[in-house]
Amino acid sequence: MDFDFSDAEQDVITTAKAFAATRVRQRAREIDEQNRFPSDLVAEMGRLGLFGLHMPEQYGGTALGYKSYALAIEQLCRVSLTVGAIIAINALAQESILRFGTDEQKRKYLPPLVAGESLSTFAFTEGLTGSDPRAITTIAVPDGDCYVVSGEKTFASLAPSASVAIIFAKDDSGKVSAFLIDPHSEGFIIEKEIEMMGVRGEDVCPVMLDHVRVPRANLLGQPGQGFNVLLTAINVGQLGIAAESVGIAEGALRMSLDYARNRTVRERPMTDLPTIQALLGEMSARTEAARWLTYRTADLKDKGRHTGKDSATAKLFASQVANDVVDMAMQIHGSYGYTKDLEIERLYRDAKVTQLYEVVSEVQRLIIGSSLARET
């Protein structure tokens, strides 16, 4: 298996790394402390083409593939999970519309999403649903040439900045359908932002739908096909989270190396201590393993051989690595790392979400296990 980067992929790494170093790094602390969505950085990422790396050229993308998508997210998340995750969150709607949208829906929604001129929110989770689609209480009632959608969603990332929302609701057949909804529609209420421990500045909000009228033409896919839409989108989102996790782990490793090289113990750098070398070695090995598993998953996706088990495996493993590596980095930084004066404290808070959103790790294990059980 060859993971040598093409010239185009190397350009993606160079572009994303330079943007992270010159524009994102200096803003990362501010975004976290002020819990402020970085709309200016989003516009710049759009101009750099970072939202369309895996999208077809006919909709404004560069068609470089899912590996390039993962590479860009990894570079950005080395310095800010919030900024890098915006690409992965926006990809949920992009993937849904690309795979299930009508030609008209694709022409309307994909070009601005790909260009970073607009963003999207993707709302499946409800207060009592967790990962169970059967527990959805949001309903879509047919009424003439519209559906009337009512219910509540939580954890709708990017909601205040979104120009389109993908909302999942049970239709009159009792099955889950997916709908493209304008967040400015009457009855679409974006509630107060949720105060998060990490990934701050992501504008995560609950959403209330109070008898929102949605044209039948805004049904995404066929009636009752919502769960297929969800799974297709989540597979790409989980690949993005695996890349986020690799970025966090690499960022923690680099911070730890810098800290240990510049802090002395008995007039010698900490990097001379066997205990520190052992931690750094473990951190590096785990990060590299997560990186190649993530790249392999993206490569399978590019070749059309990807399965849901692949994304689940990459997300499960890489998210665990991110948390373990950041924990080891905190040990290297010691008590100073536990203060807000050092950046490792933010990474420590950010890392946990990779095990929680877009299906918790416990369910990932069940997905992998059930897939294995079905294999012949």
**What does the pLDDT read at residue 329?**
98
| Ranges 192-196, 215-219, 239-243, 363-367: which has the least confidence | 363-367
Is the per-residue pLDDT at 300 higher than 90? Answer: yes
CA–CA separation, 40 and 53 (whole Å): 20
How far does CA 116 lie from the centroid of its chain? Answer: 16
DSSP 172-197: TTSSEEEEEE-TTSTTEEE-PPP--S
Q: Is 368 exposed, middle or buried (0-12, 13-18, 19+ CB in 10 A)?
A: middle
**What does the pLDDT read at residue 131?**
65
Residue 133 corresponds to which amino acid? Answer: P
Name the band, by pLDDT with cuts 50, 70 and 90, for residue 2: low
Domains assigned to the chain: 7-119 (1.10.540.10), 121-226 (2.40.110.10), 227-374 (1.20.140.10)
DSSP state of 355: G
Contact by Cβ (8 Å): 164, 101: no
116-135 pLDDT, tens per residue? 999 999 999 998 876 677 78
SS (H, E, C) 51-77: CCCCCCHHHCCCCCCHHHHHHHHHHHH
**What does the pLDDT read at residue 111?**
98
Residues with catalytic function:
358
Which runs of consecutive H residues, i.e. helices, occur in 338-360?
344-351
- Three-state DSSP at 225 gives coil
CA–CA separation, 170 and 370 (whole Å): 26
**What does the pLDDT read at residue 1?**
58
64-109 pLDDT, tens per residue? 999 999 999 999 999 999 999 999 999 999 999 999 999 999 999 9
Task: Return mean pLDDT, the chain.
Answer: 95
**What does the pLDDT read at residue 363?**
86
Q: Is 2 exposed, middle or buried (0-12, 13-18, 19+ CB in 10 A)?
A: exposed
Closest CA to 318 of 345, 286, 349: 286
**What does the pLDDT read at residue 134?**
74
**What does the pLDDT read at residue 267?**
87
The tokens describing 45, both together, are 């990422």
Is the per-residue pLDDT at 226 higher than 80? Answer: yes
**What does the pLDDT read at residue 127?**
84
CA–CA separation, 236 and 44 (whole Å): 23
Is the per-residue pLDDT at 295 higher than 80? Answer: yes
Q: For strand 119-123 and strand 162-170, is the pairing parallel, antiparallel, or unpaired? A: parallel
CA–CA separation, 62 and 69 (whole Å): 11
